[in-house]
């Protein structure tokens, strides 16, 4: 059993990430906290994000962007990124088992988990290109 020390600041950060559907960056979390009336230092927000990630309450996503993004959904899912606007959405399809077996055979690794990140152009950006 893991011991949690959810201070009021950590709880506030956790609530923002858990309620978000857009995989916010640390700066996004900071702005949303300010909108809710919190006045936390950037260091407190970053440390809270690290703590929550280490305790596996949220997931840090390093998606090839400069800034990490955070996901409050801990169930197994993938992500897709719009290469035009940077939007991140969830993909609920499972990674095919034969992919995992192929990678394990090719690399000699025992695969513990898989996270696939797709890239493409979202519907909104596609519609802007057509006009």
Whether 91 and 120 share a structural domain: yes
| Count of the separate structural domains present in the chain | 2
- pLDDT (0 to 100) of residue 26: 95
Bridge partners of 81, per DSSP, are 88, 119
| Other Cβ atoms closer than 10 A to 50 | 12
Q: Is 35 assigned a ligand-binding role in the annotation?
A: no
Annotated binding residue at 125? yes
- The annotation status of 71 as a binding-site residue, yes or no, is no
Q: How far apart are CA 32 and CA 50, in angstroms?
A: 18
One domain for residues 81 and 58 = no
pLDDT along the chain (131 residues), means of 10: 82 96 94 96 96 95 83 90 90 91 95 89 88 57
pTM over 0.85: no
Report the pLDDT value the prediction gives residue 105, as an integer from 0 to 100: 96
Domain C-terminal end among 28, 54, 74: 74
pLDDT at 5: 86
Q: Are residues 57 and 83 in the same domain?
A: no
pLDDT of residue 67: 83
65 is known to lie in a ligand binding site:
no
pLDDT at 11: 96
Q: Are 130 and 84 in contact (CB under 8 A)?
A: no
Q: d(Cα 45, Cα 32) in Å, to the nearest integer?
A: 11
Position 65 scores a pLDDT of 65
Among residues 77, 90, 122, which one has the least CA distance to residue 23? Answer: 90
pLDDT for the residue numbered 130: 65
For position 33, which CATH number holds?
Answer: 1.10.10.10
């Amino acid at each position: 059993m893991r011991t949690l020390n959810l201070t009021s600041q950590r709880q506030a950060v956790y609530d923002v990430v858990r309620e978000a559907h857009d995989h916010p960056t640390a700066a996004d979390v900071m702005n949303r906290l300010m909108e809710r009336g919190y006045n936390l230092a950037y260091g407190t927000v970053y440390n809270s994000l690290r703590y929550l990630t280490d305790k596996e309450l949220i997931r840090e996503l390093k998606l090839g962007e400069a800034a990490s993004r955070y996901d409050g959904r801990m169930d197994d899912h993938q992500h897709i990124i719009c290469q035009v606007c940077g939007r991140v959405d969830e993909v609920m399809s499972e990674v095919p088992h034969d992919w995992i077996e192929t990678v394990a055979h090719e690399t000699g690794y025992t695969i513990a988990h898989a996270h696939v990140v797709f890239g493409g152009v979202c519907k909104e950006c596609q519609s802007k290109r057509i006009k």
